[in-house]
Structure 1
Amino acid sequence: MTFLKTTFQYIALVSLILTSFVSSANPPKEIFWEDLIPQGHMQINTQAQANHEGSEQNWVQPDLNAPVVKALDGKSVSLPGFVVPLEGDSEVITEFLLVPYFGACIHVPPPPPNQIVHVTIKGGVPIDSLYDAIVVTGVISTQTWSGEIAQVGYTMKAVGVAPFEL
């Protein structure tokens, strides 16, 4: 019985070492917003067309059929962007939209769905300032999401959030 227990502990230890070696050998792929647009797709530039005047009720999200990059589905990635909070409290947020520029979905119309990522993070994360860019790391999915302010082309289960540094 002791031999089996020792053998099992040895196998568990070797498995743990191999798992940590493999995960450190494959760090998350750093991606940027243009990587979320399939090659050959002509993307509408909503930031250039943004009108800061007028009523929010008149905002229309453009290019609702904007395609996603299917090859990203299930990949571990890091993506910089800005936060549009959806769920949380005064201390942490647990659900938010990650957008490519400050004010998207709040001060200007939302970008196309393939330029918005719906993020959830277990336990939440403190966000000091919505004006500051962050980097979100996690597993991205091409699963869509729809809320009151936007239709989204990607979702992500985040495992980490850090300040964006040049």
Structure 2
Amino acid sequence: MTEQTMFNRRAALGLLSAGATVPGAALANAPREVMWDDLIPPGVPYSEIIGEGEIDEINDFWAPIYDANATKLNESLDGAYIRMPGYIIPFDFSAQGVTEFMLVPYVGACIHVPPPPANQLVMCRTKTPWPTDGLWDPVWVTGIMRTELQSTELGETGYALVADKMETYEW
């Protein structure tokens, strides 16, 4: 066996072994599909995150009273690359579109009172603006999820997501 034959075999084996790891790397970058129930920590029933409330008769406003279960977050999602559906409540938008918004589980959440609990709201930011003509359409948002309680004028959010991809939700 010549030195060149040995080199060609080593090169071929190296290329084959490198190619064998590429599918695994591609799968590692695939987002985890997350639904709204997944935002509730395991072991906490959905029925236990919905709280009582009281009416503010002067301001004609329903103020929910959530217990500690409403702010319990699914810590396994912290840092996860996810893809989830929802609706947009815009916070920061321009002629180019929306770049900061709250992702909510149903149309009108947070606009109609009371808002959902914190573990059912996701604050999102995106570098690529989402067109404002698609604000009523359901969307898929893909990006890195963080568990992070934040207060906004519309409600307390339990998660933050930096979106690197958005698309219209297809039924």
Fold match by TM threshold 0.5: yes
User: Residue 104 of structure 1 contacts residue 111 of structure 1 at CA under 8 Å; is this kept in 2?
Assistant: yes
In structure 1, C-alpha distance between the alignment counterparts of 2:99 and 2:58, rounded to whole Å: 29
2:165 counterpart letter in structure 1: G
Alignment match of 1:87 (pick from 89, 92, 95): 92
Pick the structure with greater CA Rg: 2
Unaligned segments of structure 2, at least 5 residues: 1-14
- Which amino acid is the alignment partner of residue 110 of structure 2? C
Match for residue 58 of structure 1 among 53, 58, 61: 61
Is 2:30 the partner of 1:25? no
Tell me the residue number matched to 1:115.
120
- Structure 1 runs not aligned, ≥5 long: 1-13
Relative to its length, the structure with more strand (as a share) is 2
Residues 55-105 of structure 1 show CA distances to partners (whole Å, capped at 9, x for unaligned) of 976132442632110011000000100000000113311100000000001
For 2:26, the aligned partner's letter is S
Aligned partners of 1:55 and 1:133: how far apart in 2?
A: 35
- 1:38 aligned counterpart, secondary structure: coil
Equivalent pair of 2:85/2:169 in contact (CA under 8 Å): yes
Figure out how many residues of one structure are paired with residues of the other and give that number. 146
Counterpart of 1:8?
none
How far did 1:143 drift? 1.3
Judging changes above 3 Å, is the alpha-carbon distance between structure 1 residues 152 and 74 closer, same or farther for their aligned structure 2 residues?
Answer: same
Greater relative CO (CA pairs within 8 A, separation 6+): 1
Q: Deviations over 1:119-155 (max 9, x none)?
A: 0012422242322100000000001211111100000
TM-score of the pair, normalised by structure 1: 0.75
**SS of equivalent to 2:134:** coil
Query: Aligned partners of 1:18, 1:159: CA distance in 2, in Å?
Result: 27
Alignment partners' CA distance in 1, 2:46 and 2:104: 15
| Alpha-carbon distance between aligned partners in 2 of 1:23 and 1:59, rounded to the nearest angstrom | 49
Residue identity opposite 1:105 in structure 2: C
In 2, are the aligned partners of 1:61 and 1:150 still within 8 Å (CA)? Answer: no
- The 8 Å contact of residues 96 and 131 in structure 2, kept in 1 or not, is answered as yes
Q: CA RMSD in A?
A: 2.9
Aligned counterparts, 1:1-166, within 5 A = 24-26=26-28, 27-44=30-47, 58-63=61-66, 65=68, 66=70, 67-166=72-171
Q: Alignment partner of 2:148: what SS?
A: coil
**Partner SS for 1:155:** strand
